Structure 1
């Protein structure tokens, strides 16, 4: 028995929406009775009838349903097992159980198993069905909204904990370098991934920074990102530098990853303000941007292999970049440039990012970084979802350009 009926009586002053009802019932006479009762309620509705759970599953996969009317005795499932099966298939839909005259206890058990209400066949009139249907849908939607709100709160709390570990406050001493850092998930409801960054001033007065990106998303990538960030800070404070530092970070990654396919890219930076140089190590990461009085450009630097791709290869080189008296370096993860470039088509890429920087002049580094991220996300319009991390280091003036 398979049918779909749509009825739209004239709407009253409340402009009540049509209720989309799925009836799972193998008795044709009972199904006809339910249809007649729905007509008598005066509510606009659409009714889909399926005779067993298997056919109902197919309907739920292809249709939007507000409420499921469920007979407890189906050919392929019965009793509270039927309620459990339907709740598994449609956890956010209202469920009203239909029981026989002699099984009131079954209705109570069904509600305990997750149904919003139960009705006894032969004791249902149009008014009772109308009130039960409205209440069940309202309760289901309220419960779903509460669950979503709880999920948002828990996700925000988890993101806050991860952000404090992935984006710690910089350890600065006497350095006059202005540090601006930002970290955003790929979408509002997303959990932070494996991007990480950190800044530490050493006892030698040099400023050391790292920006990295663990492949993949979710808790595993985030946990590995936290480990690499903490390892980097500890190793920097322990005096490790350059290729030796990258080798030790790779050993940590290999030892801690659960999945051998996980790897990490990163940029290491040592800024020597006294000698006006920046030493770069790129491990599978793209080049930073250098801002001078003439504008912003990508820094040419030697590339090395990402951490964890070929453990032990140690294929990394350093590049020393001369710095102007006043300027800024921007290091970022690919989530900033892999989004779509609006109506221009394609990805934003470095060229698009440079164009955004040229159109957002400001004497406030934090405001500039925020504006660039805002513009990049607006162009992307949610089509590409990836975490992004940005580190901006400016020197030589109170409010560098």
Structure 2
């Protein structure tokens, strides 16, 4: 090996072997091998052994931990770090910890001397994937260590992602129980169908919520709301508002009094003054002859009758929390004899982009709903959401959380 001239790249970078070994990493990009070694003689030894492995690697040499950490902060490729424990700016196992802090996804193979009998196993305990003695370093052993280190790290990442996915699934299930309760219906006069899913950027459910309650007097109340922002805190506030609304309904609080109560609750429970919530409440009278609607900064609703589907946008007051103590929310009443169903939704259903300069919008959503007017209940809800998702797929899909609540009345005898 000593007769072969070293190959140096610019700024300490060393080009990888040009020969193709036929090895497939199973990674999105060719991995980088980062050699962190301040001793030029040892670096030469490792470089020559690496050349003999034939592995298709992009190789970079750094002479200090500071250089290595700067490199790791800016690379997006998979990295295997060949790490000497004796560097000008660190010494011992702290080097392993600092590399892992800088790049948790990097695979680490520690290079030790023969006198460091305990260093290798201790490095594994610190999170390294393998260790090798520099004395007697051979191409086969180094090749195997690098390949196995990258594969172990990939398995570790996959396991971590699976664990995170399971935690999110459990958290979503817990939030769903609070945000999306079982409707409280006392008879068979109405059916409820709903759908809720987080947007593409939010693995965790956000602050959208809805509920349906039939009271002892036979009237049926429904609410849908949307807390600004995304995350666990917003979801928790959504749960709080939904439970408060259900409690208010069951205690006989109706109409604008409900909105004022929820306004007080959001002021008391929100984490910051800029957080607000929009919502719509509807109430069918016992005889189903009247429908009352109150909107607080929320979108309109779809109303289905034998004549078709229409977008109903009665006068609205401000969102909850925007102008505490000074807001007014008008209540609108309309005849309900011909109303077969109402569909409430959050803005995530119509704010998706369908063209380079155009969002779907509420009028676009109405067109989608009219195309599926022949469907009832859950098939109607699913068809509308899935068509909207298809229309927006080429421009990022449904970016925001989507909540839909469909309340249908039984046919009159």
Counterpart check, 1:28 vs 2:40? yes
Instruction: Judge which range, 155-164 or 75-84, deviates more.
Output: 75-84
Q: 1:38: how far off?
A: 1.2
- Specify which of 85, 92, 110 is matched with residue 123 of structure 2: 110
With 259-268 and 67-76 compared, the bigger mean Cα shift is at 67-76
2:86 partner SS: coil
2:203 to 181, 190, 197: 190
Deviations 1:293-339 (A, max 9, x none): 33222113111011111222231111112234242211111111111
The residue aligned with 1:242 is 255
> Which of 53, 66, 70 is equivalent to 1:41?
53
Partners of 1:19 and 1:265 in 2: CA distance = 48
TM-score if structure 1 supplies the norm length?
0.93
What is the CA-CA distance between 1:140 and the residue it aligns to? 0.8
Contact 1:175 1:201 (8 Å CA) reproduced: no
How many residue pairs end up in the alignment?
A: 396
What is the CA deviation profile of residues 241-281 of structure 1, one whole-angstrom value per residue up to 9, with x for unaligned ones?
Answer: 12211111111111112222211111011112624221111
Helix, strand or coil: the match of 2:209? strand
Q: Which residue of 1 aligns with 2:17?
A: 7
Correspondence for 2:367: 355
Partners of 2:373 and 2:407 in 1: CA distance: 16
Q: Secondary structure at the match of 1:389?
A: strand
| Deviation (angstroms), 1:380 | 2.6
Contact 1:21 1:67 in 2 (8 A): yes
What is the distance in 1 between the residues matched to 2:267 and 2:294? Answer: 20
1:302 equivalent to 2:315? Answer yes
Q: Within 5 A, what are the aligned runs for 1:84-233?
A: 84-187=97-200, 190-233=203-246
Name whichever of 222-231 and 3-12 sits farther off.
3-12
From the superposition, tell whether residues 301 and 19 of structure 1 become closer, same or farther in structure 2 (CA, over 3 Å).
closer
Match of 1:395 in 2: 409
- Residue pair 1:243, 1:314 contacting (<8 A) in 2 also: no
Secondary structure in 1 matching 2:399? coil
Distance change >3 Å, CA 85–CA 362, structure 1 → 2: farther
Tell me the equivalent position of 2:389: 377
Q: 1:325–1:396: 8 Å Cα contact kept in structure 2?
A: no
Deviates more, 1:310-319 or 1:226-235: 310-319
What is the rounded CA distance, in whole Å, between the counterparts of 2:221 and 2:53 in structure 1? 72
Q: Would you say the 8 A contact 1:288–1:298 is kept in 2?
A: yes
Q: Note the residue ranges of structure 1 that are not aligned, 5 or more in a row.
A: none
- Structure 1 CA distance, aligned partners of 2:52 and 2:356? 56
Supply the distance in 1 between the matched residues of 2:210 and 2:45 (Cα, whole angstroms): 65
Q: CA deviation at 1:153?
A: 1.0
Cα distance in 1 between the residues matched to 2:271 and 2:79: 42
TM-score normalized by the length of structure 2 = 0.90
Q: SS at the partner of 1:104?
A: coil
Task: Tell me: CA distance 1:260–1:202, structure 2 relative to 1, closer, same or farther (3 Å).
Answer: same
Deviations 1:38-71 (A, max 9, x none): 1111222111122223332332223413311112
Q: Which runs of 5+ in 2 are unaligned?
A: 1-10
Tell me how far apart the structure 2 counterparts of residues 257 and 73 of structure 1 sit (CA, whole Å).
52
| More divergent stretch after superposition (175-184 vs 271-280) | 271-280
Pair 1:257–1:266, CA change in 2 (3 A): same
Equivalent position of 2:379 in the other structure: 367
Query: 2:308, 2:373 within 8 Å by CA — same for their partners in 1?
Result: no
The whole-number CA distance in structure 1 between the counterparts of 2:376 and 2:343 is 14
Cα distance, 1:245–1:15 mapped onto 2, change above 3 Å:
closer
Query: In 2, are the aligned partners of 1:284 and 1:303 still within 8 Å (CA)?
Result: yes
Question: Does residue 1:259 correspond to 2:293, yes or no?
Answer: no
Which range is displaced more, 19-28 or 205-214?
A: 19-28
| Aligned equivalents of 2:334, 2:91: Cα separation in 1 | 73
The 5 A counterparts of 1:51-62 are 51-60=63-72, 61-62=74-75
Residue 213 of structure 1: SS of its match in structure 2? Answer: strand
Which SS does the other structure have where 1:315 is aligned?
A: coil
Question: Are 1:276 and 2:289 counterparts?
Answer: yes
Question: Aligned to 2:118, what secondary structure does the other structure show?
Answer: helix
